[in-house]
Structure 1
Amino acid sequence: MQLTPHFTLAELTASNTAQREGLDNTPAPEILPRLVLLAQMLERIRTQLDVPIIVTSGYRAPAVNKAVGGVTSSDHQQGHAADIVAPGYGTPLQVARALAPLVSVLGIGQLIYERVGGKYWVHVSTRVPERPANRVITMTGQGAQLGIQDGH
């Protein structure tokens, strides 16, 4: 199902972990409108960066979220979030730095630059966190830091 010109339901629900573990990652009907809003936000990001966006993780059913080690309060379970990379634009750090000043303009509720176990990606969510300070953060194995931090 095509959600927006460049994003499909299959793309936002694809999960290697679900496939490998034999888990169903089909979203409940009430999640679908949120996935449309997520795809619309991804379209705005794609337009801003002027390159294709690769979704590395989108919607996660609770069992899939648990299997990948996601937190129980993960926005991925509610259809609000996607982890993305945009190699045509640059590194995840460059993508996060480009998007950080534009979160309100692009309708990004939360932007997280994640650096975990030698892997790097950008987490974007349509949900605005309760604490404004948590709107743009960096997550590493050592925890959260405000803003986009490169670790050097």
Structure 2
Amino acid sequence: MNLTKHFTLAELTASSKARSLGLDNTPPPELVPRLVRTAEMLERIRATLGVPVIVTSGYRSQAVNRAVGGVATSDHTQGHAADFVAPGFGTPEQIARSLAPLVDLLGIGQLIYEHIGGKAWVHVSTRTPEKPANRVITITAKGAALGIQP
């Protein structure tokens, strides 16, 4: 099922962890409109970057979220979030730095540059956090920091 021109429901629910553990990662029907909003945000990001965006994690059922070590309140479990890379544009840090000044324009509620254990990606959510300072942050093994940090 296509959510938008470039993003499908299958793409936003794919999970190698779910497959390997035999977990169902089908979103309840009431979350599909949120996944459409997330896909629409990803379309705006894709157009801004000018290259394809590869979703590495979208919707996660509670069981899948626990299996990957996600926080219990993760926006992924509500269909609000996606993690992605765009190698045709650059590194996740370069992507995050490019998108940070555009969060309002692109309808990004929260932008997180995550780099942990030698892996890096960009997390975006349609949901805006309660604290405005948490809209653009970096998360590493050492914790969270405001803004995009190396």
Give CA-to-partner distance per residue, 1:60-82, whole Å, 9 cap, x none: 00000000000000000000000
The residue type equivalent to 2:121 in the other structure is W
Alpha-carbon distance in structure 1 between the residues aligned to 2:115 and 2:144: 10
Q: How many aligned residue pairs are there?
A: 150
1:5 aligns with 2:19: no
Q: Give me the TM-score of the superposition, normalised by structure 1.
A: 0.98
Report the alpha carbon displacement of residue 5 of structure 1 after superposing the two structures with TM: 0.2
- Cα distance in 1 for residues equivalent to 2:106 and 2:75: 18
Q: What is the percent sequence identity of the aligned residues? A: 73
Partner residue of 1:134?
134
Note if 1:86 corresponds to 2:86. yes
Alignment gaps of 5+ in structure 2? none
| Superposed displacement of residue 126, structure 1 | 0.2
Q: Deviations over 1:9-49 (max 9, x none)?
A: 00000000000000000000111000000000000000000
TM-score by length of 2: 1.00
In the alignment, what sits opposite 2:62?
A: 62
3-state secondary structure, aligned to 1:7:
coil
Q: Which runs of 4+ in 1 moved over 3 A?
A: none
RMSD of the TM alignment (CA)? Answer: 0.3
> Take 1:44 and 1:139, find their aligned partners in 2: how far apart are those partners?
23
Q: Distance in 2 between matches of 1:81 and 1:3?
A: 14
Give the C-alpha shift of residue 101 in structure 1.
Answer: 0.2
1:50, distance to aligned residue in structure 2 (A): 0.4
Q: How big is the shift at 1:129?
A: 0.2
